Structure 1
Amino acid sequence: MATGRITYQDMLNPIFLHPSDTPTSIQVDKLQGSADYRAWKRSMEINLSLKRKLGFVTGSTTQPTDDATQADLYEICNNMVIAWITHNLSSSIKKSVMFMTSARDIWSNLEERFSVANGSRKYKLNRDLYGLKQNSLSVNDYYTSMKVLWEELDAMNILLISTTTTDETKTLLKTIHQQKEETKLFQFLNGLNETYNPQRSHLLMQNPLPSVESASSTLQQEEAQRELLSLNSDTSETTAIFSRANLDKTIICTACGMKGHRGDKCWTVVGYPKWHPKNPQNLSTSKTKQFNNTR
């Protein structure tokens, strides 16, 4: 940076801070505890990696010992990473790490405190997954809720990396992937509302089975079509009501001469309802009251 310009090489240096970097440059959902730690950690890793500062928390970037200027730059970056971390912690958690001076130490401390054993977390994720139902959710929201659980489970079930690949290995991996996708499809279809039974049966009869993404897309189209038909039905019914109302105004009763109803529906013919003053029972009661008042 001798010329005063920021070069590409400068930006590749992990102890370089861009002038636009501030303590609030990284913003994710604040860490509340062990329940949201894995999601918070992943979000922070992505953001720190984008700024080439992930090494400050993993330990791969260390403080230079042979150059005082570089050591000072490292310290500045370390404090900025601390600021980014603490800015995304709840107030109570922030207080517990406020006086720690190493971003690496804070990261390790949070890992020890909030990282849940894989077995317990896997059990909870699978329980939530099998208990998830669509209910009042839209198809898209239901699929998204399920995908969040799948993604975290997949991240915890990473297969070992093989350095040598054979045709048999490729076939095995393809079969495993296909079984995983089928399991996701069955889980997704199982939680759908009963109103989608015909579509569920149609999807299951396809050979080969569709991907869960394709099934979700199909059901979302069906959902949109139903909403459109429902809207058209409501509009047609409203139009019919107004049409009947306008038609009734042209009808003249042959029994009483009033407008709005036919002679065979006239109360003078079929009788007045009980609440009407001209109902025979109401008339008799009224006459009795008048007679008693005259006595």
Structure 2
Amino acid sequence: MAIEGRYTFADMQNPLFLHPSDGPLSISIPKLQGSGDYRSWKRSFEIQLSSKRKLGFVNGTVAQSTTSEAEATQWDTCNNLLERRFSITNGYRKYKLTKDLFSLKQSNLSISEYYTALSSLWEEIESMNSLPTLTTITPEIANFLAAINTMKEEAKLFQFLNGLDDKYGAQRSQLLMMTPLPTVEMACSSIQQEEAQRDVLRNTDNYVVEASAMYSSRSGERFVDKGVCTVCGAKGHSGERCWTIVGYPKWHHKHKKLPAKGTSKPNAHRTNSARMSNNSQSSFGRDDVHITSQ
């Protein structure tokens, strides 16, 4: 590959090429903080490996040679270098992701936010699990892979349902009784529909309560406005609107009988006293006449 200690462009383009300065710490990638910055961290990781022509060792596109012993040995060297660099923290990272996954709950988040958080953890965990590449797939292997995928989907479904708030307990039971079990995407869609219906009903209930309160308030105003009159004792108007105060309408038979301004209404006590006096005088006169006749 190298001619007189010098490297050609073709040599440096080969994924198996290692520069003397390449080492476990030659690839600098910021530390992953959590599921929130996973996508940006993954992109930075891919760019760093691509610049070194080593991304194929991670995604499996650069396979170990089976025809050249020298290339197979060089492939082992590159692969071991990457393992030393990135496998140090994989154990702790997998543990933390798995712990976060099983402790994640909805906790009053929307269904969309809750499912997005779960999906980020699932994607990151799957990216850290490497499986061997199969070159020949027999019917038995296909059935085996299908069974594994079904188990993975069921595990995701159970994790999703387990973290839901208790108010979705009835929907959780209905989904678990289905045969076959729905995918986690179908379950999420079903719960989202239930969430939307509850939001509509909640808004409707709030509108009814507000309308009832407004009606009650206005009804109370009408009751006060049309209560018992404090002047005449009649119902249907207040004392301020009583006709004995503001005057009778023209069509009423008592129209113009309201005392003139500056004069007061006859005192009921005086009127009764006058009537009693007249009655007494009348009685006295009749007695006199009777005595005289005798």
Q: What interval of TM-score do these two structures reach, taking the shorter chain for normalisation?
A: 0.5 to 0.7
Paired amino acid for 1:44: S
Q: Secondary structure at the match of 2:96?
A: helix
Q: Secondary structure at the match of 2:33?
A: helix
Paired amino acid for 2:33: A
Aligned match for 1:186, one of 149, 158, 161: 158
Is 1:227 aligned to residue 191 of structure 2?
A: no
Paired amino acid for 2:94: K
Residue aligning to 1:44? 44
Equivalent pair of 1:189/1:200 in contact (CA under 8 Å): yes
- Cα distance in 2 for partners of 1:167, 1:241 equals 69
Q: CA deviation at 1:199?
A: 0.6
Equivalent pair of 2:228/2:235 in contact (CA under 8 Å): no
Residue aligning to 2:215? 243
Q: CA deviation at 1:156?
A: 1.6
Alignment of structure 1 residues 2-17 onto 2, 5 Å: none
Q: CA deviation at 1:158?
A: 3.2
Q: CA deviation at 1:248?
A: 2.1
Distance 1:248-1:43 versus aligned 2 partners, 3 A rule = same
Is 1:58 aligned to residue 53 of structure 2?
A: yes
Q: What do residues 21-80 of structure 1 show as CA deviations (whole Å, max 9, x unaligned)?
A: xxxxxxxxxx7524359644421356x4xxxx964233589xxxxxxxxxxxxxxxxxxx
- Cα distance in 2 for partners of 1:176, 1:226 equals 36
Paired amino acid for 1:167: P
Unaligned runs of 5+ in 1: 1-13, 15-30, 62-107, 261-295
Distance 1:38-1:221 versus aligned 2 partners, 3 A rule = closer
Q: CA deviation at 1:203?
A: 0.6
Alignment of structure 1 residues 199-214 onto 2, 5 Å: 199-214=171-186
Residue aligning to 1:96? none
Q: TM-score, normalised by structure 1?
A: 0.53
- Cα distance in 1 for partners of 2:167, 2:234 equals 48
Equivalent pair of 2:227/2:235 in contact (CA under 8 Å): yes
- Cα distance in 1 for partners of 2:214, 2:138 equals 73
Aligned match for 2:103, one of 117, 123, 131: 131
Equivalent pair of 1:34/1:116 in contact (CA under 8 Å): no
- Cα distance in 2 for partners of 1:139, 1:227 equals 12
Return the structure number with greater relative CO, CA threshold 8 A, min gap 6. Answer: 1
Unaligned runs of 5+ in 2: 1-12, 14-28, 57-80, 237-294
Q: Secondary structure at the match of 2:216?
A: helix
- Cα distance in 1 for partners of 2:132, 2:39 equals 23
Compute the RMSD of aligned alpha carbons: 3.2
- Cα distance in 2 for partners of 1:221, 1:40 equals 32
Alignment of structure 1 residues 115-126 onto 2, 5 Å: 116-126=88-98
- Cα distance in 2 for partners of 1:42, 1:259 equals 81
- Cα distance in 1 for partners of 2:88, 2:190 equals 37
Q: CA deviation at 1:205?
A: 0.6
Distance 1:160-1:231 versus aligned 2 partners, 3 A rule = same
- Cα distance in 2 for partners of 1:137, 1:195 equals 13
Equivalent pair of 2:229/2:235 in contact (CA under 8 Å): no
Larger radius of gyration: 2
Is 1:143 aligned to residue 115 of structure 2?
A: yes
- Cα distance in 1 for partners of 2:87, 2:206 equals 53
Residue aligning to 1:274? none
Paired amino acid for 1:253: G
Q: What do residues 202-248 of structure 1 show as CA deviations (whole Å, max 9, x unaligned)?
A: 11011111111111111111111111110111011111111122222
Q: TM-score, normalised by structure 2?
A: 0.53
Residue aligning to 1:215? 187
Q: What do residues 251-291 of structure 1 show as CA deviations (whole Å, max 9, x unaligned)?
A: 2334967999xxxxxxxxxxxxxxxxxxxxxxxxxxxxxxx
- Cα distance in 2 for partners of 1:151, 1:177 equals 14
Distance 1:210-1:178 versus aligned 2 partners, 3 A rule = same
Distance 1:259-1:217 versus aligned 2 partners, 3 A rule = farther
